[in-house]
Structures are given as structure tokens and as C-alpha cells.
Structure 1
Amino acid sequence: MTDAISSILSQIRAHEMRTRGATGDAPASNAIGTLGSGATGGVNGATAPGFQQTLANAVEQVNQTQANASSLQQAFEMGDPRADLARVMVAMQQSQVAFRATVEVRNRLVQAYQDVMNMPI
């Protein structure tokens, strides 16, 4: 199970790198800033987004993927010739994988929170 989660997280990181572009200002894959403030990164002193912003961006991207799949599905159902079945099915699968990855990350965060809360003082 851990290998599957690691694989999903690496895919999410790779997708994030592709969406940002190869500008070199992305934080390291294990860098998590504090909530509300970003960690400094890069040579120019720009701040990287914090954990809260990164999580919000990931959820927004999943939402956009689902909306795109839904609009393609609706266009296919209405008979739009630009929405072929293969494109619709690929978009639906991408949406499903993105949602499952998000749920898995959420489950891992909840489990980590519970583990921390159950630690003896």
C-alpha cells in the first residue's frame, strides 16, 4: 500500500512540475512550508507556496479536471463532433485517477494527524 501511495505522490509532483513549467523555482519535493507563509526558495529569494496553498491548488486542479471531463461528456451526449468517445473516456479516467489520488492523500493526512494526536506526551 505504501508503494502505491508513493507512486501516486510522485505522479502528483511530476504533474505539478509540468504545470509550473521548467522554471527552476519549484520547491524540493519534500519541502513543506508552514501554514500561511512560504519557505524561501530559489536564488532570487522568491517565496514558494506553503502547504495550505499547495493543497488548495491541487484540489482546484482536480476540480478543473472533473469539470473538463463533465463538459466533454455532455458535449458527446449532445452529439458534438469534436467530442469523440476516446477523448471523453480518457478525460473521465483522468478525472477518476485525480480524485482517487486526492482522496488517498487526504486519508494519509488524516492518519498522520491521528497518529500525532495519539502520541503520549
Structure 2
Amino acid sequence: MTSPVNPLGSALQQIQSLAAQAAGGAASAGSSDTSALGASGAASPDSFASALKASLQKISSDQQHAVGESQAFELGSPNVSLNDVMVDMQKANIGFQFGLQVRNKLVSAYNDIMQMSV
């Protein structure tokens, strides 16, 4: 019914793909003029915002999928097993906890920057 869950492999794959994207952006920026901030290899606000938005949408869709499977199981759907429901609920919970920790780190970094003297 479902494929085996390998959350560490999935997280590692996502980190590696993000690192490859960052390295690609830095390599292309290194060959151009670095006098402008946009060409210095720093992530643009649009790319960060879109990545953050995509992550939040993924967390939300995982939670909605888990709730949908839970409701289907409660209604007695024959193609939904308890194992699938529990795995999906845990995946949604872990995704939410991950998002919460990212938010905490962003707020902490924002507070640190705001406390810097100029």
C-alpha cells in the first residue's frame, strides 16, 4: 500500500538538494561582479520567502492528509489501515515540530539582529 518510510534519508536528500542549489548560486555569483548585493551569492528575499512558503504549505498538506486518512479510517474505509494512519499522523507531527523549531530559530536570529548596536 505505502512505501517504506525513511525520514532520515528524505531529510538528508532535501538538505543535499538545498546545498546543491546554494552552491550553484554561489558558483555563478563568484564568476560575476560581486559589487552588488544580489550578485554576492546571498540568497534573495524572494527565494527565501518562496522556500519558506513552500515548506509551510508542505507541512499543512501533510497535516490535512493525515486528518483525512484518520477520518477515513474512523468511517471504516477498507483501503486505509491503522498503520498508515499512525505513520501519517507522526509524519505530520514531526513536520510541525520541525517548522516550529525553524520559527524559533528565525525569531531568535531576528532578536539578535535587532539588539545589535549600529
RMSD: 2.8
Are the counterparts in 2 of residues 72 and 88 from structure 1 also a CA contact under 8 Å?
Answer: yes
**2:61 & 2:95 partners in 1: Cα distance?**
10
Evaluate the alpha carbon distance shift between residue 68 and residue 32 of structure 1 in structure 2; reply closer, same or farther with a 3 A threshold: farther
Cα distance in 1 for residues equivalent to 2:16 and 2:42? 15
Within 5 Å, give how 1:52-91 maps onto structure 2: 52-91=49-88
| Alpha-carbon distance between aligned partners in 1 of 2:69 and 2:63, rounded to the nearest angstrom | 10
**TM (normalized to structure 1)?**
0.67
Which structure would you say has the larger Rg? 2
Using a 3 Å threshold, how does the CA distance of structure 1 residues 92 and 58 change in structure 2: closer, same or farther? same
Offset at 1:120?
Answer: 1.3
> Is the partner of 1:82 in helix, strand or coil?
coil
Runs of 4+ more than 4 Å apart: 29-32
Structure 2 residue 44 is the aligned partner of structure 1 residue 34: yes
Q: Deviations over 1:39-61 (max 9, x none)?
A: xxxxxxxxxxx000000000000
Point out where structure 2 has 5 or more consecutive residues left out of the alignment. Answer: 1-7, 27-40
* SS of residue paired to 2:45: coil
- Provide closer, same or farther for how the CA distance between residues 97 and 34 of structure 1 changes in structure 2, counting only shifts above 3 A: same
Structure 1 gaps of 5+ residues are: 1-7, 19-25, 37-49
Provide the TM-score with structure 2 as the length reference. 0.69
**1:34, distance to aligned residue in structure 2 (A):** 1.6
